[in-house]
Structure 1
């Protein structure tokens, strides 16, 4: 019996994969029920599965409009999946353990370590406690501001409901919205392109949700320690630089495009440029029509979506730290340096190899799925590449492809969202054989590169 138990013992990555899959299936079942639909008719299971995957993987891609298709019950199911998926089901289960004063076991700490992408278990429970406090506090403050703002447009009751829903959705970088029920399906925040309150609060939520809880905790403790970790410095620098560069590029390319920025005043142009630069951090909301943007802007957004958010956050992508490591490696090689140095710290070779591995797996996944979809979907290559990258980066931006996906297309995009949320390496560790320690090393060989 002991040998059988040992054989079926699951590793932390496997538990994460199974846990997320179970939540998605439960969500899909609930969303397919007649009570979840605004019309009272059952939703096709494939559409419910796609929506549940998108919500749990905090992506935002939808085949049916959330605000107009789903009833309040269905919308509550979706926002619950977003909260659980964004913070992680293990984080939510830890919350219940705190409430019930239950001790966190060693196995649970190992899973939390894997879920939060941490190098060790030291302080993991304290970090989870902070994650819960920060998340609920930020969502509450944003919900109050949103509720007050939208109460003027929608009435007090609907304004409060919209405020709570969108605060949770945007902080978890999900991008789901309800404005299809009051404006038109799939409109997102296009009506509020020049609204300072909606834009600033939304961008604040997206950025805070995307920098990662470790960085957030580090910033809060700055007054006490008077220093930031290397990880926090890299994340904050890369995030700020990508947002600034993204806003400038989008502003330049779209300035004269009457279908996007061209019709807005100067403040609206600046706001919309920054919002479209922040949103590819894996948020998925948009204040201008993405499908109407110039191809140069669309391709640039694909790059931003592929990079994504930061480790230990609610976002996806290869992460800002991976991108920074690759850029550092390129600069070091060009300069003839042996080490990658960031903020006077040398990066270990294991970090560099992990960054290269993660990027290559992600690149192969995006290319492979895009190639498959070009044979099954009647869409242009750029639109499909945009859709797949959005799914992998758990972004949720689309050029209008999602509602027209075939059955096969919905399955492939769902699997891509799943892989993007868990991370290619976590998925590889979960599905691959258990690593064994090498007993010997081969002699070093040399090949010509370049």
Structure 2
């Protein structure tokens, strides 16, 4: 069965690929160059990282690009965060006051996983809400540090934080503010809001004011199961990640560069939040202990929530997998999450997504071990953790790095680009495309038992 390039399944792939190609050409153009020349490959890598809101950079963002280049980069981040099709659908809606069924289904699958919503009203509310949050974030950053965050710098970092991109205009990311609770708090809040998902933010904006107005009533408006699941899983991962990083750094006597207690607590919390696909860092990632890096890889692999600017397998997938394991241990036929049973289709998608994600990351790590060998196997062994961290960071569209990114070979950059592209769209999109090429068999095979374990 053939799949048209304009079909709902292919639109995300085609749109993101086109944006990356155009962005790469613009970033490699002399008008976008700053103090150094940017090759076409580095331009494409940066464009991929921006559109996929990852933050991995092979050049210094602050100096390698001119103000024009920074504007192009910011546009790619914003477009990638919200989705290329969302921009196209909104423009078409405002122009004709109607959107094609193809765009409606595509945006519904990408953002809300619901094909029955009113796209026009949703997009207007979405853009108003997103631009409002980013504007407030930029204002807060500028007021917190006018010298460090001038107007454009505040806008750039606010959009980059909300879109979970992790691109910064400073070579050390946000390390110079690692003890500033105001700046850290603003950036962390933007990261968390961007990683919750558009449907969750929309529901919170509708339900919370009604709950405040009717707080004296016995029956108050309730959040949906999806939103409650997202909020609980996100809270547990942030707090659990914070405690785990603190414990691991203390046990290994690293203490993140032997910071003071207050700075140490704040740095650990910020790293726990930013691991959820943001990419900013307030400490040198390479200075962290090996066990901390391994745990951060787990946080990056899980990522944010469905329909958000974040990557990874998503919080809901991780929670469903945990529910499945718990149900198997209790000999339950149903997979129970909270006080609800998850349907079989959702469980199958969660398992398939996790398996495909693990295989994609493992394949990328093996490819990097080949491309970055440097002529000796010993060099690969010494850099294995760094390469694995780089691969997970790319797939989770996080952008954290131990310093490997600028040293990647040309084939290594291509591997990371493909991994970022896959991680941003999600393996489920590519799996759905492959499944659409197949015809469902009209017969069943005979069942047979085999030994397992």
Distance in 2 of aligned mates of 1:257 and 1:337: 40
Change (3 A) 1:131 1:435: farther
Distance 1:77 1:102 in 2: 29
What is residue 214 of structure 2 aligned with on the other side? none
Corresponding residue for residue 230 of structure 1: 225
Greater shift, 425-434 or 284-293, is seen at 425-434
What is the CA deviation profile of residues 263-302 of structure 1, one whole-angstrom value per residue up to 9, with x for unaligned ones? 3222211111110000111000001111000000000000
C-alpha separation between the residues in 1 aligned to 2:132 and 2:57? 28
Q: 1:179 aligns with which of 166, 170, 173?
A: 170
Q: 1:406 to 1:126 in 2, by over 3 A?
A: same
Contact 2:256 2:287 (C-alpha < 8 Å) held by counterparts: no
Q: 1:68 aligns with which of 50, 57, 63?
A: 63
Deviation at 1:437, TM superposition (A): 3.7
- Does the aligned pair in 2 maintain the 1:14–1:431 contact within 8 Å? no
For the 8 Å contact 1:83–1:168, the answer to whether it is kept is: yes
Alignment deviations for residues 231-270 of structure 1 (CA, whole Å, 9 cap, x no partner): 1111111100011110001111224778753532222111
What is the DSSP-based 3-state SS (H/G/I as helix, E as strand, rest coil) of the residue aligned with 2:256?
coil
Q: Which SS does the other structure have where 1:313 is aligned?
A: coil
Distance 1:420 1:9 in 2: 20
Do the aligned residues in 1 keep the contact of 2:196 with 2:230 (CA within 8 Å)? Answer: yes
The answer to whether the Cα contact below 8 Å between 1:146 and 1:163 also exists between their aligned partners in 2 is: yes
**Which residue of the partner structure matches residue 299 of structure 2?**
304
Q: Which residue of 2 aligns with 1:251?
A: 246
For residues 384-403 of structure 1, the aligned pairs below 5 Å read 384-403=387-406
Corresponding pairs, count: 435
1:426-437 mapped onto 2 (5 Å cutoff):
426-431=429-434, 433-437=436-440
Is 1:367 matched up with 2:362?
Answer: yes
> Where does the alignment leave 5 or more consecutive residues of structure 2 unmatched?
211-219, 374-379
Give CA deviations for 1:391-446 in whole Å, capped at 9, x if unaligned. 00000000100000000000010000000001011023235552434423334333
Scaled by the length of structure 1, the TM-score of the pair is 0.92
1:99–1:34 Cα change, 3 Å:
same
Aligned partner of residue 258 in structure 2, secondary structure: coil
Structure 1 residues 260 and 176, CA gap change in structure 2 (3 angstroms): farther
Does the 8 Å contact 1:316/1:420 carry over to 2?
yes
Give yes or no for contact 1:17–1:430 (8 Å, CA) kept in 2: no
> Does structure 2 conserve the Cα–Cα contact (< 8 Å) formed by 1:109 and 1:125?
no
Alignment pair present for 1:134 and 2:119: no
Q: Is the 8 A contact 2:178 2:283 kept in 1?
A: yes
Give the alignment's Cα RMSD to 1 decimal. Answer: 1.9
| Counterpart residue number, 1:32 | 28
CA distance in 2, matches of 1:444, 1:350: 21
Name the residue aligned to 1:184.
none
Q: 1:348 to 1:431 in 2, by over 3 A?
A: closer
Match of 2:313 among 306, 312, 318: 318
What is the aligned partner in structure 2 of residue 82 from structure 1? 77
Question: Could you tell me how far apart the structure 1 residues matched to 2:150 and 2:285 are?
Answer: 26
Q: Deviations over 1:35-83 (max 9, x none)?
A: 11113x6411000000000000000000001001111110110010000
Report matched runs for 1:271-420 at 5 Å. 271-378=266-373, 379=380, 380-420=383-423
